[in-house]
A = this chain, B = another copy of it.
Amino acid sequence: MSQAAFARARANIALAKYWGKSDVALNLPAVPSISLTLDGLVTETTVRFREDLDADLVKLDGRVATAKEAARVVELLDRVRAAAKLGLRAEVESTNRFPTAAGLASSASGFAALAAAAAKAAGLRWGTKKLSAAARQSSASAARSLFGGFAKLPAGAPGQADLAAKPLYGPEHWDVRLVVAEAAKGPKKVGSTEGMERSRRTSPLYDAWVEKAPALTRRIQRALKDKDLDALGAAMEQSTYAFHACAMSASPGILYWQPATLAALRTVERLREKGTSVWATMDAGPHVKALCHAADAAKVRRALGRTEGVLKTMVAKPGAGIEVEAR
């Protein structure tokens, strides 16, 4: 049994949005989501179980992790150790090989790579589904990054411990592009976990979101099957606005947007008025991500790059699923 392993995973963007948990302890999503795994947005992680360690050693991007960051890593390692009946502490080195800090959540690729590397290093023979369920317990969006191309994470019923994402289509299914426009620097004020909980407890619109999101996800899944970008884009925008609506109308309201967010949204709207099929989405942050056909990506990127307040742009295409090897 090898005591070390390496994994490479890619970030993903939700086309049908996840917001809200049905079970906080088990980290189960209250609504189904559909994602696109992104080429070029890679996290590489090595896990080494070592006899000579008294505690887990966690390095992120070459620096020692903060206590809060390390705690989430150790929690996943503990679950892997329990499954493998392994007593050793681990050295974890994880690096985000992203071309820009464009506000794409690295927790998706990070926890996908960590789950795969840790399980392999611990000698567990977990398949992708099992790895997806393990990653999901740390970060729901990570469950989707195990799979390349397009994946779906169903909603979880409270108590359902083993929820995993499912592959829908490989990256070759549809040659779309995601153009990312960075709209602000710095971390957001309200983290997603806190934002979801506050939305659930205080937003007058939260229950309606949970009730209505599955229909939006079905529309998105159908449009994805049909490769109908206008149908998918319209439903993706609606899914985006509906989840931001829950966050905004929480008490106190959570507003992830910045002036440049609005400017970038206007740019996308103007491009569409001029005939380009391009649609916007935002995660729990200020950045705008525009979905378009490959042929339109350069034009969309130029327009977003020229938009007031936009700091940086980049383009991603459909990417591959998890890669793991023993070290």
A residues in contact (CB < 8 Å) with B: 204-205, 207-209, 212-213, 215-216, 234, 237-238, 241-242, 244-246, 248-253, 255, 257-263, 265-266, 269, 308-309
Contact = CB atoms under 8 A, between A and B. Distances in A.
A119 B216 CA distance: 50
A241 B234 contact: no
Instruction: Count this chain's copies in the assembly.
Output: 2
A176 to B, nearest CB: 20
A215 B208 contact: no
28 contacts: A204-B208, A204-B213, A204-B238, A205-B205, A205-B208, A205-B209, A205-B212, A205-B242, A207-B208, A237-B252, A237-B253, A238-B250, A238-B253, A241-B248, A241-B253, A241-B255, A242-B245, A242-B248, A244-B248, A245-B249, A255-B265, A257-B262, A258-B262, A258-B266, A259-B260, A259-B266, A259-B308, A262-B262
A259 B309 CA distance: 9
Contacts of A245: 205, 241-242, 244-246, 248-249
A143 B257 CA distance: 34
Nearest to A307: B259
Give the residue among A209, A216, A241, A242 with the most B Cβ atoms within 10 A. Answer: A241
A234 to B, nearest CB: 6
Give the residue among A205, A246, A309 with the most B Cβ atoms within 10 A. Answer: A205
Contacts of A237: 252-253
Contact of A234 (B212, B251, B263): B251
A251 B216 CA distance: 11
A209 B204 contact: yes
A64 B257 CA distance: 41
Give the residue among A215, A248, A308 with the most B Cβ atoms within 10 A. Answer: A248
Given A204-B213, A257-B262, A262-B262, 15 more contacts: A204-B212, A234-B251, A237-B253, A238-B251, A238-B253, A241-B245, A241-B248, A242-B245, A245-B245, A245-B246, A245-B249, A255-B265, A255-B269, A259-B263, A259-B309
Contact of A215 (B204, B213, B262): B204
Nearest to A213: B204
Given A205-B212, A208-B204, A249 B242 contact: yes
Nearest to A258: B262
A186 to B, nearest CB: 13
A262 B259 contact: yes
Given A237-B253, A308-B259, A242 B209 contact: no
Contact of A249 (B241, B258, B259, B266): B241
A223 to B, nearest CB: 13
A252 B240 CA distance: 12
A265 B238 CA distance: 23
Contacts of A250: 238
B242 A238 contact: no
A309 B204 CA distance: 31
Contacts of A204: 208-209, 212-213, 215-216, 238, 242
A153 to B, nearest CB: 20
